[in-house]
Every structure is written in structure tokens, then in C-alpha cells.
Structure 1
């Protein structure tokens, strides 16, 4: 059995449990043998990753060799450096970047590749110091960065293929989940909404006190929590997901871990803190007890300064690069009806301060005046107002909204420090007035031009879901998370999902 992990994103109990389906005491179905849950695709995927790393190393070595010959470096230097670069593949293996547990996981996989390449750089630097005649600067500052870029790019392409296969029901790990029916229901819903995680929940175990429940969300209940280990052995499941329930005392979880040691199953335990994850969680041992430390979210300090600096530089460069496109869009909006090009709207920023948010005008000039007569047709829940076919949207405005081009003037808001490239959606004053203390935590950081809501469905999201995503961002903000969101924003815009 692998080391127990914390379930990413946690499990939240949303709403009450639906009325259980009462039936005669269910006879647990005969589970398929372990061979039926074939994971041949895992072995092939790992082989593909190893081959991609070797290919990236060979390409980088070839590039370095060509440059070395062009610069007249000695043959001995080239041979030694090539040998060290070849070791980078081994170093990637030692860094855990080929571990089946992290393959296809994204950020953690890329971090381990980075550690392996960094270790290769250290190995390169040592002979450079020992033998001054060996000039390793080209390799450390040229070839190794190229190797890292190629390795990450090839792994990204493999990961995209894996996610595509999982979207069609292939390359999934068989999972048995055990816990309270409410948390199990939420887990099933989340895995169906996010198949790229790679889980296929095939069986459930619930507390004996729940009664006779035959299924939850179409997944069969095969037994109670006491018999979980036996079902894992008979069914050949690869993941055992343990969700919150008062049955799971520390002693029982420890015993379950012991019982699963001789199985290929990975035990995954959901934390009590549902939406806290990433850099704020730290596992440590105190007096022999494993403790989950939760650090406070960071809203100031060095990382905040780096984020502000990156926002300013990025916004300035984007405005310069996109200047021709911005002029064309402005001209198109002006020609449409002769009205103003920029639409200004009061929004709420960090700590509740107000600012004027800028957008290319995508509606008719008197759009705000027409809002009252359209309120009854509102398709959004909560304080938001959304219409898929809003009659106020102009023809050019529909195109701008489809590709989020109307948001580009907000780069000026980023440049002036009122917004960030990544952050929660900036609310209207009337929206923020209705916030309770929990939702008001969205205002602890600068609002963003894009955010988790943007890459998770945009206008297709419910009010509750958009709030949950914004709060998750506030609680778990990091520079790495910002980079991932910016990367995913490009895909979300090109797919045009939820844009209207």
C-alpha cells in the first residue's frame, strides 16, 4: 500500500442527504478480480513519459553539441558534458518525476522535473569548478533550460492525451469510497464533473447505522465500513477514498492502513478542512502523532510584492503588444453606433474600496436604463444578472464577449494597481452590500482580470459555485496557482465555454 495522501480539494457536504433507496438487504455483487481492473495503460503511460524525457535529453544534447563544435570547445569537454547530461535522465528518476503517483498530475509532476534538471545543473557545475578548462556556462545556462522546456512540453502533451482519454471513460483508476452518504454523494458528483482526475468510483461502503442503502448516485453500496478492507482485496481497487464520518477514529484509520498494506490500493483520506489545500497544508510529527498544520493565508509580504511587480510588467507589455488590436477593436465599437468606446462601471476592489473598471462597450448605449425591464428574465441565481441572449448586446459586442476581448481595457486597471491579472471576480457595489462575513473574504485580495471562475465555466457557473471558487483562490493563493490559471485562461477563451 502506498503512503496515505490528502484528497486534493477536499470533500464538502453540500445539502442534505436525499432519501435513501430502501430495499432488501443487498447482496454484495461478486467483485471483479484484480485482473479485470487492468492498469496496463499506467505502465504504457510511464514508458511514454520516460521515452519523452530521454528524447528531450537527446535533443538538448544535440543542440549543445552543435553549439560546442561551433564555439570550438574541446572534444573532451563535449564528451564529459554529454555524459553528465545523459545522467539528467537518471536524476529525473531519482527526483521522483517518474513516480506513478504523480504522473499526469500537472504542477507536482513539473516541479519534480525541475528538481531533476536543477540537480543536473549542480552536477555540471562541480566538474566546471574542478577543471577550469571546462567551460560549462553554455550547458548550465543554455542546454539545461532547453532540456527543461522540452521535457515539460512533451509531458504536457502526454497529459493532454491522458485527460482526453479519461474524458471518454478510458485510463481511469477503479475506486472504492467509504464514509458518510453525504460526503460520498459529493465525491461521486465531483469525480463525474472532473474526469481528468482519473477516478472511476465503482463501489461504496457506508456506516452500518445508515440502514439498508443499495446505491448512491447510481453507485452500488457493497457493504459497511467494517468490511472495507475485504472488499478492497476481492475487488482489486486501486484507490480507497475515505471521506468524513464519525466512524473513522484514529485507531480505525490506522488499522485500515495496516490491513491494506498487502494490496495495491492507495489510501486517500479527505481532511476536515474542505477547501484548504496546497501551500497552506503541512504534515508534521509531534510526540509521535502525525499532525496537519494549517498556516494562515498570506495577503502581504514578499510574494505579494512579486505578484504586484509581475502584474505591472505583464500589463505594460501586453498593452504595448496588443496596441494595434486594441485600436482595431475601438474603431469597430465606434463604427457600430457612434457611441463611446469604453464602458466604465463602479466595482468593489480589495478591502471594499471602489474603483472604475474599464471594458470595451459591448452593449447599446442605454443598456443600464433597460436593465429594470429585463430583471424578470434573469437566468442567473444570487445577486448576478445574466442572459444568454441579452437583447442589449450589439453584434460586435457578441464577438468581443465570445473571446473575452471586451475585458482587455482592464489591463489599464492592472497597470494602475486597482486589479490583478489573477483574482476573484470584481463585484458590483450592490452585490458586495449583500455579502455575509464568509463571502466578504473575496475582498481580501485584489480582483482579477481572470480567475478560477474564468477557467471553470465562466457564466455557466452558479452563484454558489463562483463564490466557492473565489474563496478557494483567496485561501490557497500562490504564484504557482496564478501561473496555472493564466495558462488555463487561454484555453478557456479559445473554447468560448460560458462566454455570453
Structure 2
């Protein structure tokens, strides 16, 4: 009976979507025809001539909605993912139509009509999905279309789950009761709900109670203990879920299901579902670094010549630094110190003016007169554009530290290595050399934990006045 009802509802959803797509096409035809009356653009053929096109569009769009999992359950989820599905479906649909037009050599259908249809279809399907989403929420708040949930476990994190469920009645989840590990809890009320039995009594409870979902609150290190219980859920055709509370131990991690060589994995990552944004970041790095290197090549040649003229040694200073996840790479800078300055570092450690492992010193005797100017104007950093082009660095990111300094950074502070190092970043825009070690690390971690393309753009723009005014340079 339940399967028949679900099948009927899915068919109804499909019929509504087909109707919306057809109406969007009709509306696009009317608007395009009206536009032809008021502007000097070609008129459309009679609407009946477009029936073959509409006959192709409807099954294509319906199939794409199905394959993009539009008809999967969205109970308890945000509507943003399936709004993206609407956009994705229409983009894929127009690609399929383009291929069909090319293969069948069809050129009679008006392109402006098709593009107008796609735009209207996105708007109309989006409106329909939001309206349907809100209607279902309202129905569930009235106590209909509910799912009775059995919670297994009575430890404090069960209370967190109960609180979330009770705060969102629009999801239609209703707690039917709990199962405990302790037999003495049977019959008692825990967190406001009755303990129906022990975890070992799951089979009997599912026989006597109306249960739609079973949620296990087992610690992640003890998942092997619920294998038998999951088999009971499978045997009786009841959904089994596992509540994994990682907020205390990994608050910055995002948890998701992934696969490696077709093996399903439960993954924890900072960068989950940000691969597209990271790809855009890399393209920006290549485009901007490549363009600047090309434009600034005369200036780079002049500065290299001046450095060679002022003191002996190579114009470019090379140093091995720590990059993404601890990868070692050679970083390039214009030399601002006398040749062999690294060998003199240990003699000046007592005059270090920075806390922690980072070495900073005003009026460093190793710095040449031209080097002071290059540092103050940040011109010494320009060769790092080659590091960005190679992929060792990014335009924006945590500052790459020398290996001797990076090796002394331990514990949670090592999280700064989770992003590629950058030429500029949070601390360069907020004090630069005047920042303390603790402040530097805090800003690097803030960048890693809150990274976005928008943040990169803000920091790039903020870097310009900081460099021009020579703020905090040493």
C-alpha cells in the first residue's frame, strides 16, 4: 500500500513538472511573438509547427529531472540543493537539444525562443518547487505526512538530536521512543520520551510499534556494534540512519559520503564540495600571475641588474619553504641581504623582535640599502609570481615559512598548511611585520577556516593600498 502511494505521488510530481515545462514553452512562444509585433525581429512559425520540438523537450526534461534525483526525498533538507538541480537540468537540457539539432541538421527552430523558454522554465520550475516545499512543510506541521523515528541510545548527544527534531516540526519527524543499553531504563522517560526496550530488543519493538526510521547514536569508533541491528532494519524494510556528532572534536570539518576507487568512504574535510571554487582560484592565479609577469618583465630585469650591481651574489634568492600540507618547494625572492646572510642568522637570534619561531628584526645589518627599499615597497616579492604560475603558491594564502620556522609550529597551528601559501593574505593586510606570532597564526587559521573566493578578492583589493603606503613593511 505504501509503495503504491509513493509511486502515485512520484507520478503526480512528474505530471506537475511536465505541465510546468509545457506552460513555460507556451509562455515563451507568446512573449516572443509579442516581441516580434513591437520590434523589427523575424516572426515565429505557427505554434503547431513547434509541436515536434515540444514533444522532444518534455521527455528530455523529465528524464533529466529524474536522473538528477529531483524526485528523491528532500524531507529535513534545505531547498537550495534542488533549486540548483533545476538550473542544472535546464543547462543539460539545452546541451542535449543542441546535440540533437546538430545531428539532425535542424535549423528551422528559433534560437531566441529556445533561450527564452529555458529562462522561463528555470523561473517557473523554481517557483513550483518552492511552493511545493512550503506546502509539504505546512502539511507536516499539521501532523500529516509524518515519519515516526526510533532513537537507539540515551547518552547526552541523543538530547542534541531530540532538540533538533523538536525545533523543526516542518520536517514531519516525530520521535516514537528510545532504546537504551541499560535494561533498568525500560519504561522510564528519558529526555521526555519513553524507553521502549533495550538495543537488543530492536526486532521485537519494530514488530509492536509503528516505526518508519531508526536512528543510531553509536560513537563512530563503535560502529561495528550496530551491524546486527542494521541487518534487522534491512530485514524489515525500515530505514536505518547513523547520527555522527563531530561538533566537539572536528568543528571545522565537513562530513560527507565519498568514494575512492569505487569504495564508499565516510569523509571529513575542510574543502568538501569546494573543488569548483578551488579550480576557479587556480585559474585566477594562472591568469593574474601570468599577466603580471609579462607586463612587469622589464621592471624585473632592471631590479635584477641593480641588485647585482650593488652587491655580489645572485639577484634571485632561493629558499626551501613549507607549502600545502607540508610539501617542500623552492620559493623565489629578489635578494635583499648580503650574499650568505642565512649563515649569519644564528648570530642574531638574541635580537629577534618576533615571538615564537619566526625571526624578525628591525635594522637587520644583513639587509642592503636597495634591499630596504625593495622590502618596504614589497618589490622583493615579485619573483613569487613564478611560484604562483608553477602551482607551488597562490596569490592569496597563509605566508610560507622557512623550514626551520615551520618545523617549530605544532598542534592545531599546523592547520595553516591546509591551504596553499600565498604572496598576500590575512596578516599581510593587517599589520604585516608588526603582527605578533600569535596574531599571525590566528589570522592564518581564520583564513583557512573561512576561505572563499570572495574572501580572496577582498584580500587582493585590500593589499593594494597596504603595499602602496608601505604599511608594516620591515
TM-score, normalising length: structure 2: 0.49
- Tell me: higher relative CO, structure 1 or 2? Use CA pairs within 8 A at least 6 residues apart: 1
TM-score, normalising length: structure 1: 0.47
Of structures 1 and 2, the larger Rg is shown by 2
